[in-house]
Amino acid sequence: MTVTTPAGFRAAGIPAGLKSTGAKDLALVVNDGPAFDSASVFTANRCKANPILWSQEVVKDGVVRAVVLNSGGANCYTGPDGFQTTHAVAEKVGSVLGVAPGDVVVCSTGLIGLANDRDHLLAGVDTAYAALSGDGGADAATAIMTTDSVSKQVVVEGAGWSIGGMAKGAGMLAPQLATMLVILTTDAVVPAADLDQALRAATRVSFDRLDSDGCMSTNDTVTVMASGASGITPTLPDFTDALTQACTDLAMQLLRDAEGADHEIAITVLNAASEDDAVEAGRSVARSNLFKAAVFGNDPNWGRVLASIGTTQAAFDPADLDVAMNGVWVCRSSTPDADPALVDLKPREVSVTIDLKSGDARATVWTNDLTHAYVHENSAYSS
* Rounded Cα distance, 342 and 352, in Å: 14
Q: Does 217 bind its own copies (CB under 8 A)?
A: yes
Q: Which amino acid is at 352?
A: V
| Interaction mask 89-128, its own copies, x per CB under 8 A | ----------------------xxx-x-------------
Q: Does 57 bind its own copies (CB under 8 A)?
A: no
CB of 362 to its own copies, least distance (A): 20
Identify any residues that bridge with 368 across adjacent strands, giving them in sequence order.
264
Residue 179 labeled ligand binder? yes
CB of 77 to its own copies, least distance (A): 5
Identify any residues that bridge with 181 across adjacent strands, giving them in sequence order.
168, 221
Q: Which of 9, 302, 353, 355 binds its own copies (CB under 8 A)?
A: 302
CB of 155 to its own copies, least distance (A): 32
* Rounded Cα distance, 204 and 336, in Å: 34
CB of 355 to its own copies, least distance (A): 14
Q: Which of 79, 134, 160, 231 binds its own copies (CB under 8 A)?
A: 79
* Rounded Cα distance, 313 and 311, in Å: 7
The set of residues, in sequence order, having a beta carbon less than 8 Å from that of 333 and lying 6+ positions away, is 319, 320, 321, 322
- Residues 125, 14 contacting (CB under 8 angstroms): no
Active-site residue, 179 included: yes
Indicate the residue among 266 and 345 with the shorter CB distance to its own copies: 345
Of 179, 218, 248, 367, which residue is the catalytic one? 179
Q: What does 283-330 look like in DSSP terms, one character per residue?
A: HHHHT-HHHHHHHHTT---HHHHHHHHTTS-----TTS-EEEETTEEE
Q: Which residues are annotated as a binding site?
A: 146, 168, 179, 259, 378, 383
Residues in contact with its own copies by the rule CB under 8 A? 44-48, 74, 76-79, 111-113, 115, 171-172, 213-218, 287-290, 293-294, 296-297, 299, 301-304, 306-312, 318, 321, 331, 333-336, 370-372, 374-376, 378-380, 382-383
